[in-house]
Structure 1
Amino acid sequence: MEKQRKKEKPASSRQIFCLSGPLHLTSVDWDSFHDRRSVAASLVQGVYILERDRQENRKDPLAHAPAWWEFFNFQLFHILVDEVDNSIFGAIFQSKPCNFTYNHSSQSSPHYVIAFRGTINTSNTRSRDLKLDFLCVRNRLHESSRFQQAMQAAESLFSVYRNSSIWLTGHSLGSAISLLIGKNMTKMGYNVEAYLFNPPFLSTPVEGIKSERLKHGIRFTSSVVKAGLAFAVKGRNLRHEQNDPFTSLSSWRPYLFVNPSDLICSGYIGYFEHRKKMEEIGAGKIERVATQVGSLLSGSGLQRSESEPLHLIPSAYLTINLRHSPDFKHAHGIHQWWDNGFIGLSELHEYGPFVMDEKYLLR
């Protein structure tokens, strides 16, 4: 009887679209960055709720997940199920023809969206998800069957629908999977648009240091050491940067969404800010070499690109949530990214001789 009561426990309002979803997006403008961000985050939430529905044995018409994509006129094209714990960790959504009423004729609109959820802290998924989190920290996520399954699904979709607009999106652990897939697909010559929410930054945690001068000093010293090490390993070959796998990704500009109060992803703020400062003081060459050191020392190429440090991204559109987060749960949550009252700062960071300082407030 007790088990039955647990199954009948009402779902959290966070899971129900009409209570916490972006109902204000009654008409999506695909040329609007705010709208694209909100839709991408909602589809990721749809994957979370797909797994929640499975755990609670909620099926149509009681399932809560469909509303998270049907509201935007998408349909479920394919579900990705982890072969280890049978949990749903991803999904592929296909836009419906009626999306033309949502300004879907815009070149900014997707035909397919591949979305991945992050960690779910319930008994059904906790063990498997935490093991994958640990692999992510150790930069070995590419070795997991979940990533390999996700990569195969993405490769199949891109190869069959290569002329279609395909998005990658994910949250937390799911954004790490999307990031790895995006790197691989870009090196294969595909055009990949990626929306990565709270992506893990797996490097020395210096964001907690209050002194900006000390943080910059630590990063500067690290860059000089890494650059020197890279020169020692590769020597003159570093002059041929076009052959380096890291440089080959420089044209890819994924959208990263981070919260400064979330230590899991906030490292990206300092990472890109440091690169800009190095350019400003005339040490851009040192920093460009230093940011390559991970891929250089791993000896990675196209076939081993997944062994590169996950957080090393040459270029990106970085969006920082400027609104106050009362706790870590809010700072790391997916819901903040479709909030109608969202206020953020976006900046394009490009890998090259100069960093484009293109900042603008989002409201």
Structure 2
Amino acid sequence: MAETTAAEMAAVKQVNEITSPAVAVNNPSSDHPFAFHVSGPRKVSSPSWRDLLNSSWKDGNYKRTVIACFIQAVYLLELDRQENKSEQTALAAKWWIPFKYKLSQTLIDDRDGSIYGAILEWDRAAALADFVLVRPSGAPRAVLVLRGTLLKSLTFRRDIEDDLRFLAWESLKGSVRFNGALVALKSIADKYGSNNVCIAGHSLGAGFALQVGKALAKQGIYVETHLFNPPSVSLAMSLKNISERAGFAWKRIRAMLPYATETQGSGDDGKSSCTGQNKWMPHLYVNTSDYICCYYTDPAGAEVKQIDKENVGQIAGQAAAAKLFVMSKGKQRFLEAHGLDQWWADDLELQQAVNDSKLISKQLKSLYGLQASQQTQNKPQVSETWRGLRSMYAK
């Protein structure tokens, strides 16, 4: 009787290993905490033929979840590289394969050989294998994803250098990673069209994504941008705030002086008149307990309202400079509030800021100023032409 029971148990174990390869004993990465089936999203499905009629990518929750998974894959690409994992034991691919994407290119820092980004493209062959004949509406042809800081010795130094670069100057343009990301994004935008690609990043990677997307927007190339826990703290911004407060205080003092007769401004509040016509509107995902990104929720100029999960991807105000999605769960530990995994949680509830926040408005000021100057330069040319025609007919 005991021998029969042992045989039955062995048979059941063998069947479980065949039907559930993720837990097979020949896969040492099966129970890794970063494995997709362990820490990935639970309520998200792979594209199917039904997506031909009603695409899941049109749902803001689905899109946010998938793109966050793509960023996680870039973190794991670097960890797989450092741990010399084989194709069978690597973790990264499991985070894009379920969504019918494939790895097209890795962005490598030549100084230390680390992977800091990747381009994922729609995998038509894999989709056809599941009878998905065309790419679902809303699904990008290619996604450029950038990771944040990894506290691993092999890439820690270069990551921290860029962290300090942003902290000191609030600019990442001097980094070789900025140039690499810019070239990569421009290449896929030229190949597929700017409407068919997007860029996304987490933490430091979100800082790169914001500035790379802004650089292309200045060239008239508007790429959908998703920023998870983007950095908002810098010494440069603090100095600007101190300077602005001092200037504001001086204006108030000067206005109270008896000889203050000059005009008190021209009605320009510092915001560009072309904000409402801006074609580039990045998506920002911030947590109020994360001191790295929480300053994007500055209430000065930002109106926050509760929205339904179904409508989380819709914006209520066309004049917003960015779509700001805010998570507030009360007091949280920093690592939890700054983590990427929170953005694919099943119980996620977000608030949306429908007007431009003070910080994002400052960061995009140069972009708006460029658009405004271009409009101003075009107007005189039109009027000059009109005056020339009018004088010619008058004769």
Per-residue deviation at 1:203? 4.7
Query: 1: CA distance between counterparts of 2:247 and 2:96?
Result: 43
Matches within 5 A, 1:67-216: 67-97=94-124, 99=127, 105-138=135-168, 139-162=170-193, 165-203=196-234
Query: 1: CA distance between counterparts of 2:219 and 2:141?
Result: 20
Q: Which runs of 5+ in 1 are unaligned?
A: 1-8, 207-216, 229-234, 278-313, 356-363
Q: Identify the residue that residue 280 of structure 1 maps to in structure 2.
A: none
Q: Secondary structure of 2:222's partner?
A: coil
CA-based RMSD of the aligned residues comes to 3.7
Query: 1: CA distance between counterparts of 2:101 and 2:245?
Result: 49
Give the conservation status (yes or no) of the 8 Å contact 1:261–1:331: yes
Per-residue deviation at 1:205? 11
Residues 87, 269 of structure 1: alpha-carbon distance in 2 compared, 3 angstrom cutoff: same
Residues 240, 124 of structure 1: alpha-carbon distance in 2 compared, 3 angstrom cutoff: closer
Residue 294 of structure 2 aligns with an amino acid whose one-letter code is S
TM-score (norm 1): 0.70
Give the conservation status (yes or no) of the 8 Å contact 1:37–1:338: yes
- 1:175-234 per-residue CA deviation (whole Å, 9 max, x = no partner) reads 00100111011121123111100000135799xxxxxxxxxx999947836999xxxxxx
Q: Secondary structure of 1:124's partner?
A: helix
Per-residue deviation at 1:75? 0.2
Residue 193 of structure 1 aligns with an amino acid whose one-letter code is E
Query: 2: CA distance between counterparts of 1:163 and 1:253?
Result: 13
Per-residue deviation at 1:326? 3.6
Give the conservation status (yes or no) of the 8 Å contact 2:195–2:223: no
Give the conservation status (yes or no) of the 8 Å contact 1:83–1:146: no
Residues 265, 103 of structure 1: alpha-carbon distance in 2 compared, 3 angstrom cutoff: farther
Residues 205, 318 of structure 1: alpha-carbon distance in 2 compared, 3 angstrom cutoff: farther
- 1:66-99 per-residue CA deviation (whole Å, 9 max, x = no partner) reads 0000011100010000111110000000012255
Residues 269, 351 of structure 1: alpha-carbon distance in 2 compared, 3 angstrom cutoff: closer
Query: 2: CA distance between counterparts of 1:56 and 1:70?
Result: 21
Q: Identify the residue that residue 224 of structure 1 maps to in structure 2.
A: 248
Residue 32 of structure 1 aligns with an amino acid whose one-letter code is D
Residue 122 of structure 2 aligns with an amino acid whose one-letter code is S
Query: 2: CA distance between counterparts of 1:223 and 1:350?
Result: 22
Q: Identify the residue that residue 308 of structure 2 maps to in structure 1.
A: none
Moved more, 85-94 or 147-156: 147-156
Indicate the percent of aligned positions where both proteins have the same amino acid.
32
Count residues with an aligned counterpart.
Answer: 290
Per-residue deviation at 1:13? 4.0
- 1:14-43 per-residue CA deviation (whole Å, 9 max, x = no partner) reads 421010111321145111110000001000
Q: Which runs of 5+ in 2 are unaligned?
A: 1-27, 48-55, 253-264, 304-319, 362-395
Residues 203, 120 of structure 1: alpha-carbon distance in 2 compared, 3 angstrom cutoff: closer
TM-score (norm 2): 0.65
Q: Identify the residue that residue 23 of structure 1 maps to in structure 2.
A: 42
Residues 225, 79 of structure 1: alpha-carbon distance in 2 compared, 3 angstrom cutoff: farther
Residues 351, 147 of structure 1: alpha-carbon distance in 2 compared, 3 angstrom cutoff: same
Q: Identify the residue that residue 324 of structure 2 maps to in structure 1.
A: 318
